[in-house]
Chain A
Amino acid sequence: MIEINYLWPLAGGLLIGISAGLYLLLNGRIAGISGLAAAAAGLTHDGISKLGLGFLAGIIAGAWLASHLIRQPHITITSSPALLIVAGLIVGYGTRLGSGCTSGHGVCGLARLSPRSIAATAIFMAIAAVTVFVTRHLLGVQS
């Protein structure tokens, strides 16, 4: 059982939105983590991106600091190594093919009412929910 509290997710969400908003107004770019990760790894057409590397390093450092100073996360991962690899491959390929993930399409795209992002968000939310329904309730896998 996971305790449900609305202030933590709301506060965390506000911070994520502030980050995305600042990134737009300062650097003029979309704070989409799949795109930034690909850019940081040199997997776009512009070589290794220092902005991508900086953003990713910031995420890791920020998460570390918040974990130690604000709220200790209790991370539960029950997926097998094989499933983690398969899911990682699909997420990596899919986010590049679809030009974004939860942050780029979800947070940034919905905020600017982009038709592509609205479609993408509806699709990945629905498919993810169906996937969880199939694995948990039809196949009985507790992941």
Chain B
Amino acid sequence: MPERLALGFDIGGTKIAAGVVDEDGRVLARRGTETPSTDPMAVLDAISTITEELRSDHHVRAIGIGAAGFVDATGSTVLFSPHLAWRNEPLRDAVARRTRLPVLVDNDANASGWAEWRFGAAQNEPDLVLITLGTGIGGAVVIDGQPYRGRYGLAGEFGHMQVVPDGLPCECGNRGCWEQYASGRVLTRRGREAAASGTELGRRLLDAVGGDPEAVTGRQVTAAAEGGDEEAVAWLADVGDWLGVGIAGLAAALDPGVVVIGGGVSDAGELLLGPAREAFSRTLTGRGYRTEARIVRAHLGPEAGLVGAADMARLTARRRRQASPGARVRVRAAGRSGRSPRRRR
């Protein structure tokens, strides 16, 4: 019996990461390159090249692509990407034509959420909410073993929940979006301000990056906090507090069993999650009369996206092969009963 392998891509604003992924979510081989972010055709070329390289050693049966952008609900088209040149890009069919493999495209956070549910922090849970904390905030929802994509594929844009009326301006055009308060950019912003104004922490941050205030990011702030700097600890606690408040809002709407925190900022661990849990408990409605979600750190790190994309593609391709018209009718009939579908793996 040949191994059932799939190829996963994580296409971000700066990097493309790819890997051959097996049925247990293990990455058997890897490739990476910079994203040719201004040219959709060059992105396609990069995907094709990496696919051919990895295919020469591994029998992959499907390709999954997690893309940093809005992907439509059918998993075929990238509607819009803030960091890439994609506008209504029919990525699935373009890659399928070139590679002659079944292809699935999803939002990168959805792919990560799937991976954490299948192989990571939420492995034995019926559902999951994933929050990815990077420069901004992304998110994913898995319910009863199904990715929750919304009607048009755009569910899980948690970073753009409004948490402060007329609050800080957001790149999306609104004000008061959650990601302006609870993401890595808050640490970066404060770090650069401190570096420019020469506070004690600011000087420490400047030293860490070799003197350029604009080179300071949340990473140095986290390192300073881990080194015991009280001000940096307080900044992380502040971000954690906003994180917890937003999770309480999400829990009011979604009532998940577990909330998984991923993305680069989650490297701060308990310095972030401790205050987040405290704020979540403090601000969750109906406390004492409900079972509360656990807040845990993601397990899979930066490869979650490519692992999840590969796994979704593998499972979808298998379902297509196995599906009979009769089975499809039964699934649809069950869907209208008001019962949650059984967990499928």
A binds B: no
User: Which residues of B pack against A, CB within 8 Å?
Assistant: none
Q: A residues near B, CB below 8 A?
A: none
